[in-house]
Amino acid sequence: MSEPGTPDRRRGSVAVGLVAALAGLLFATSATLLEDDADRSPTNLVDLARVETARLEDNEAEVAALRKQRDALVAAQQPATEPDATGSDLAALAAGRLPVTGPGVVVELWDAPAPPDLTASGLHPDDLVVHQQDLEAVINALWSGGAEAMMIQDQRITATSSVRCVGNVLLLHGRHYSPPYRISAIGDPDALRDAVETSPGVAVYLQYVDSVGLGWSFEESETIDMPAYTGSLRLNHAQAG
């Protein structure tokens, strides 16, 4: 059980300007659609993987529609005389297809050490691990703070990326990661810091940092290098309406 008065974390819950905001909206939509009020630490991981896969397929149509809206808005913002000089680059940037370098911030989260007697401490094992909604809270705060590009661990995040956790294992672009989780974002460091510090979701996580020892690190960086995303952006089942 979590401490009295502390919210329960176990319950469900580089583009510029317009392109960055739309990319953030797409990511947040994809992540939010995957949330569920059920226990996120079931014992049957095979069944969970099947459920998550089905849920992702069911909601890809909405993500595809948002991508279509984004592409249309990007195209509308470009001068008709220079479509290749600006529009294509911005679209590639939003899709993570271009390597980028710039100032920004690096956030790390990791699990808390288990106390010698967990039962006596009044804690639940779920209180001691980084959950999906914790990562989503940081990621969405960074997008809302004007992040122009983002990377989790060693992978560039795109408009179709989704963060999923099975227990405390992160699933991203077909690969598995264990904590510590490292989130890098390029943008105005001050604006990114303000967005993270005022995020309600991050505030809940920070309460657990203080109460149970979950890991947290936030650092500004003058130069962050991000490679281009080289994976597939194709949606195999969704069709834009």
pLDDT tens readout for residues 183-237: 999 999 999 999 999 999 999 999 999 999 999 999 999 999 999 887 665 555 4
Amino acid at 129: V
Instruction: Give yes or no for a contact between 165 and 40, defined as CB atoms under 8 angstroms apart.
Output: yes
Residues 2, 183, 108, 175, CA torsion sign: positive
pLDDT in tens, 48-84: 666 676 666 666 666 666 766 666 665 555 444 444 4
Amino acid at 10: R
CATH of the domain at 139: 3.30.70.1880
Give the range of the structural domain holding residue 90, as residue numbers without chain letter: 17-226
Has residue 9 been placed in a domain? no
For residue 41, with 0-12 CB atoms within 10 Å meaning exposed, 13-18 middle and 19 or more buried, which class applies?
middle
The total of structural domains in the chain comes to: 1
Has residue 71 been placed in a domain? yes
Has residue 10 been placed in a domain? no
Has residue 118 been placed in a domain? yes
Give the CA dihedral 125, 126, 129, 135, nearest 10 degrees.
180
Has residue 66 been placed in a domain? yes
CA distance 214 to 111: 5
CA distance 39 to 114: 20
Instruction: Give yes or no for a contact between 226 and 113, defined as CB atoms under 8 angstroms apart.
Output: no
Picking from 237, 235, 224, the residue whose alpha carbon sits closest to that of residue 95 is: 235
Has residue 201 been placed in a domain? yes
pLDDT band at 37 (very low <50, low <70, confident <90, very high): very low
Number of C-beta neighbours around residue 190 at 10 A: 11
Which range has the worst mean pLDDT, 79-93, 119-133, 134-148? 79-93
Q: Alpha-carbon Rg of the chain, whole angstroms?
A: 19
For residue 108, with 0-12 CB atoms within 10 Å meaning exposed, 13-18 middle and 19 or more buried, which class applies?
middle
Q: Are strands 181-186 and 100-110 parallel, antiparallel or unpaired?
A: antiparallel
Cis peptide bond prior to 7, omega within 30° of 0: no
pLDDT at 26 over 60: no
- Map tokens 């297809």 to a residue: 97
Has residue 217 been placed in a domain? yes
Average pLDDT taken over every residue of the chain: 76
Has residue 2 been placed in a domain? no
